[in-house]
Amino acid sequence: MKVNVGGVDKTARIVGGVVLLSLVFLLEGNFRWFGLIGLVPLATGLLGWCPLYSVLGIDTLMAQHSQHTKHIQHE
């Protein structure tokens, strides 16, 4: 399990997951259970690994690292 979720992506997943999970407490009726979908982005954000990214060959951690390296080289 190789880490493939970068910093900004990780933060967005964690925040989005918490927001979705809050629906469980804010909504009434059966619609509130849709908030459990928030477990997926929360877990992938906390673990730093996304199985869908692995299948598609996406790596936002490396993209973030290469952007940072390019910025340093130009200074």
Residue 11 covered by a domain = yes
Residue 1 covered by a domain = no
**50 closest CA partner among 3, 8, 12, 18:** 3
Residue 58 covered by a domain = yes
pTM of the model: 0.80
Residue 44 covered by a domain = yes
pLDDT digits (tens, 9 = 90+) for 15-47: 999 999 999 999 999 999 999 999 999 999 999
For the record, the structure tokens of 42 come out as 């929360």
Domain extent at residue 42? 7-74
Residue 22 vs residues 41, 49, 56: alpha-carbon distances, Å: 13, 23, 30
Q: Are 65 and 44 in contact (CB under 8 A)?
A: no
For the chain, what is the domain count? Answer: 1
pLDDT at position 75 is: 54
CA gap 24, 47 in Å, rounded: 22
Q: Under DSSP, is residue 8 helix (H, G, I), strand (E, B) or coil? A: helix
Residue 57's CB: how many other CB atoms inside 10 A? 7
